[in-house]
Amino acid sequence: MRRIKRDDTVRVLTGRDRGKQGQVRQIIAERDRVVVQGISMIKRHMKASGMNQPAAIVEREAAIHMSNVRLICPQCNNPTGVGFRTQANGARVRYCKRCDQDID
């Protein structure tokens, strides 16, 4: 189970976009990285490939390491540490270390 999931809102802790927030669009589990909407934008130069696709510069998000983001707790709206615990019905859930509420 991971601390960060798709569609979470996270805050960026380091780099050019430090302090910005965005929604997690993709988790790259094997590299412990996340792609966050609007964060760490990079320009890629696409070569022309035939008549239908001219050369272009495409902007997209670069993946950033999970340790560089912090979850924004949906309950208390603060950047927080995430813990794990088991509910009475046996389900493992994440919880906010700041407000102590279950996140999901």
- Taking the least distance from each CB to Zn ion, the nearer of 35 and 96 is 96
Pattern 29-68, Zn ion, x by CB under 5 A? ----------------------------------------
Contact call for residue 9 and Zn ion (CB under 5 A): no
Q: Kindly state the smallest distance separating residue 74's Cβ from Zn ion, in Å.
A: 8
Interface residue with Zn ion among 40, 73, 81, 104 (CB under 5 A) is: 73
d(CA 33, CA 27): 6
At 31 the three-state DSSP class reads helix
DSSP helix, strand, coil percent of the chain (3-state; round to 5): 5, 45, 50
List, as own/partner pairs, every contact residues 98-101 make where C-beta atoms lie below 8 angstroms and the sequence separation is at least 24, other chains included: 98/73, 99/73, 99/75, 101/73, 101/75, 101/76
- Taking the least distance from each CB to Zn ion, the nearer of 4 and 73 is 73
Contact call for residue 75 and Zn ion (CB under 5 A): yes
Q: Which residues bind Zn ion (CB under 5 A)?
A: 73, 75-76, 96, 98-99
